[in-house]
Structure 1
Amino acid sequence: MIISFILTVVGLPLFIDYAHRKKQGQMIRDEGPKWHEVKSGTPTMGGLVFNIAIIIASLVVGILFVGFSPQLLILVFILFMYGVLGFWDDSIKLWKKQNEGLTAKQKLIGQIFAGVIFFAVYYQQGLPLAVNVFGYELYLGWFYLLFVIFWLVGFSNAVNLTDGIDGLVAGQASIAFLAYAIIAYVQHQTGVLIFCMAVVGGLLAFLIFNHKPAKIFMGDMGSLALGGALAGVSILLHHELSLLLIGIIFVCETASVILQVISFKTTGKRIFKMSPIHHHFEMCGWSEWKIDIVFWSIGAIAAIISVVFAVL
């Protein structure tokens, strides 16, 4: 955690300065809240810095303590692969000076490919092809591959949707990875523990520069990588469904988008003033800080409940 924190704290100011000199900044969505227009031009792709820090810290400490742990390596791989997808997406946006990058189909192909590799390593380790449902094993056999892909793709996109206001994802993901670090410690899964703590260190450092008013955004390179890695951690700890509670904010953000689309297409009416749901609360007059604190608090309570049930 300390190594990742230090590398991120040192690297981000250099990256922010580089982005300003190259005049590379985030393009704000036209359909987003109008007051977000002041954020246009803020450096993005901060995920590049903390992803590199997480990978270096994980591999260095991992080699020293657990050697080449397959669990640690596959988590690093997922972070890297989903990070590459996000990097590609962010680069297109910066190059075209717009808020549209890769198509949904292009992203999905890359996400599925990484999911298949993850499952291959998981299967090779002889881990159970079953989902832990409140302590009971729901055996899926080869259908577990579909579950792995769905989980990785779903939560990478869920975290991506949540990344809409300053500090929200960095804080909430820190809480989620810390919760899984505790579970990993109890299970003596040192490789997963090392990875989770490296993520927490990188995100806490990133939050210094990403809180309101943000000096840098993480971009898709950060959010897609974090979501995929979070899903991967829940699978390796065999507490897959706990992510629905530990990641309750990500679930609610995604659900708000799905419900909004269904409602508008079927009735012509919107349930929320704007989706994802953090924008709804902005439209209701909440400040970004208030949204962050309330959402983080809900996420922290949910994480504590999940950890208590997981370790009992």
Structure 2
Amino acid sequence: MELLVLFAACLLISGVAIRLGSALAARLGILDRPGGHKQHEAVTPFAGGFGLIAVLLSASLLGDGFFGGTVLAPVPGLILGAVLIFVTGLADDIWHLGFKPRFLVQAMVALSMVFIGGVELRSLGELLPGVMVDLGWLAVPVTVFATIGLINAVNMIDGIDGLSGSVSLFSLALTAIVAHYGDHGAYVFFLVALMGGVAGFLYFNLRYPGNRRARVFLGDNGSMLLGFLFAWLFIDLSQGERAAMTPVTALWLFALPLMDTVGVMLRRFWLGKSPFRPDRHHFHHLFVRAGFRVYDIVAVAVLMQLVFALIGVCGLLLGVPDYLMFWLFLGVFAGYLLVILRPWRLVPGLRRLGRWLGLPSVDVCGIFVGYLRREKSPETVALISAGLGNAHDYRLGVYEMNKCGTDGRNVYVVVEIPANGDEHLIGRIQRDALRLKKRLAGHQGVEVRLFMCRSATSDPSAGAMAGGDRGPDRRDVRSSLIYSVERGHFMVDDGTGCEVSVPPPCL
């Protein structure tokens, strides 16, 4: 109960801080504008870090009472590093700092973590049978390298609405379980507080009914802060006699961001490009190119991260040797690289996977019904119109194919529904298609599927086609419009809510 109250309180603190931070960001110009490799279409404030820093400062002010009577000893070093990295992130959001000054500050923060907080990566564990890899004098530089890597891993996965926050939330939850089993009560409370802060951010950043797009972005101020906190947690919880986990477990707890970051940088090296130059080849960008909705991409990413984290936690709790878990991780990473570095094969495969899973493409713009006999089309149109009701604005077109060899079934129906990028509406269109399929189940030979608008990402050519097929349902010179029915606020109302643009033929 105490943890639940703590989570709710931190969620509220984060939400209020982000509200205030958004207003401040708008005044100071801390805004993300569309363009370049970015995909959003509206100016959005970088205010996610305000919620996280507010939760962190509130936790430090509450002191021992906040941490359930236990003392989180190195809090001063944690707060100092967090504030410094947050301010640097804000500066980057405003002035777009180059990677050199960012790396310099990140290295300074890592050094403060070592020399003020006493948090240092001294051992990598048993990476080979019977061989403990103790770092010795390399401990400090490896700690700096690991910290910089984690900070930038969070930053690089922050590419679409809800992704970095959702993946981080589940990683924090699994880390809290590990801390609990390791008897680190202070860190359990600290992790729950951070989960509340991230959940408060997701309220503004995640897409859900009533929130078509992110109202706030994490920004460098938030992503760098979150990455620093992960670095602190993973290193401190994996070192010393009271270690709650091994360094290899930490790899699994943060596997997806690490794999994505290293994979993208290796690809840039391979192509002779700067590893620090942003592009659109992260794993989530490949899912976007395959036509996945943002909701579905976030769900897939969370599922992948959850599976990876559970493998790490189960290996830890079952006592699986470190070296086995480490080489298993390298094997999984090699497989990930093999797939992700071949986008020309991956993207078509993802499209097929999406269809197999029944996920609607972001390019969906209606419903296709075919193939009908001409004399049956009025009856079918009536069933379709009744099924759609007043839920959508739509244009229903009945087309006749101008070719032979169709066994008399040469008429098809296309219901065009202007989704305008509304992913929730796309989900409703899919449900409508399923209902229509049931309504028309008694009509032998009738096919119902989603209708897709062709785009540069889904098809190199222009026009429209039915999803999953390039068959005769395509509207081109081989098809003629017989008649159409339109409904919507943009039509002239004749008292019925419908208008027949071209009178249906007398059949």
- Shorter chain as denominator, the TM-score bin is 0.7 to 0.9
Matched, 1:83 2:80: no
Q: Distance in 1 between matches of 2:165 and 2:63?
A: 23
Q: Distance in 2 between matches of 1:236 and 1:262?
A: 32
Alignment of 1:100-115 (within 5 A): 101-115=96-110
How far the C-alpha of 1:121 sits from its partner, in A, is: 3.9
CA contact (8 A) 1:231 1:240 kept: no
Q: Deviations over 1:201-238 (max 9, x none)?
A: 10011111101210100100110111111121111111
How far the C-alpha of 1:49 sits from its partner, in A, is: 2.3
How far the C-alpha of 1:296 sits from its partner, in A, is: 0.4
RMSD: 2.5
Letter in 1 for 2:44: T
Matched, 1:258 2:261: no
Q: Distance in 2 between matches of 1:201 and 1:260?
A: 35
Q: Distance in 1 between matches of 2:48 and 2:226?
A: 13
Matched, 1:214 2:214: yes
CA contact (8 A) 1:159 1:223 kept: yes
Q: Distance in 2 between matches of 1:112 and 1:120?
A: 12
Q: Deviations over 1:239-278 (max 9, x none)?
A: 3232321111211221232132123229xxxxxx932221
What does residue 98 of structure 1 align with?
none
What does residue 196 of structure 2 align with?
201
What does residue 331 of structure 2 align with?
none
CA contact (8 A) 1:61 1:194 kept: no
Q: Distance in 1 between matches of 2:121 and 2:144?
A: 16
What does residue 309 of structure 2 align with?
303
| Deviation larger for 294-303 or 178-187 | 178-187
For residue 289 of structure 1, the aligned residue among 295, 304, 313 is: 295
Closer/same/farther in 2, CA of residues 147 and 19 from structure 1, 3 Å limit: closer
Ranges in structure 1 where 5+ consecutive residues have no aligned partner: 93-100, 267-272
What does residue 473 of structure 2 align with?
none
SS state at 2:271 partner: helix
Alignment of 1:111-150 (within 5 A): 111-121=106-116, 123=118, 129-133=122-126, 137-150=132-145
Closer/same/farther in 2, CA of residues 136 and 128 from structure 1, 3 Å limit: farther
SS state at 1:138 partner: strand
Letter in 2 for 1:132: G
How far the C-alpha of 1:119 sits from its partner, in A, is: 1.2
What does residue 48 of structure 1 align with?
50
How far the C-alpha of 1:37 sits from its partner, in A, is: 4.3
What does residue 223 of structure 1 align with?
223
Q: Distance in 2 between matches of 1:37 and 1:204?
A: 22
What does residue 72 of structure 2 align with?
69
CA contact (8 A) 1:70 1:121 kept: no
SS state at 2:272 partner: helix
| Deviation larger for 238-247 or 194-203 | 238-247
For residue 5 of structure 1, the aligned residue among 2, 7, 11 is: 11
Q: Distance in 1 between matches of 2:79 and 2:214?
A: 27
Aligned residues: 292
Closer/same/farther in 2, CA of residues 128 and 254 from structure 1, 3 Å limit: closer
TM-score relative to the length of structure 2: 0.53
Letter in 2 for 1:8: S
For residue 253 of structure 2, the aligned residue among 227, 246, 252 is: 246
How far the C-alpha of 1:136 sits from its partner, in A, is: 6.7
CA contact (8 A) 2:15 2:51 kept: no
What does residue 419 of structure 2 align with?
none
For CA contacts below 8 A with separation 6 or more, give which structure has more relative contact order. Answer: 1
CA contact (8 A) 1:75 1:233 kept: no
What does residue 185 of structure 2 align with?
190
- The alignment-based identity, stated in percent, is 24
Q: Distance in 2 between matches of 1:149 and 1:200?
A: 25
Name the larger-Rg structure.
2
What does residue 60 of structure 1 align with?
62
Letter in 2 for 1:11: A
Q: Distance in 2 between matches of 1:309 and 1:281?
A: 30
What does residue 169 of structure 1 align with?
164
CA contact (8 A) 1:249 1:299 kept: yes
SS state at 2:214 partner: coil
How far the C-alpha of 1:10 sits from its partner, in A, is: 2.6
TM-score relative to the length of structure 1: 0.84
CA contact (8 A) 2:30 2:93 kept: no
Letter in 1 for 2:45: P
For residue 38 of structure 1, the aligned residue among 36, 41, 44 is: 41
Greater helix percent: which structure?
1
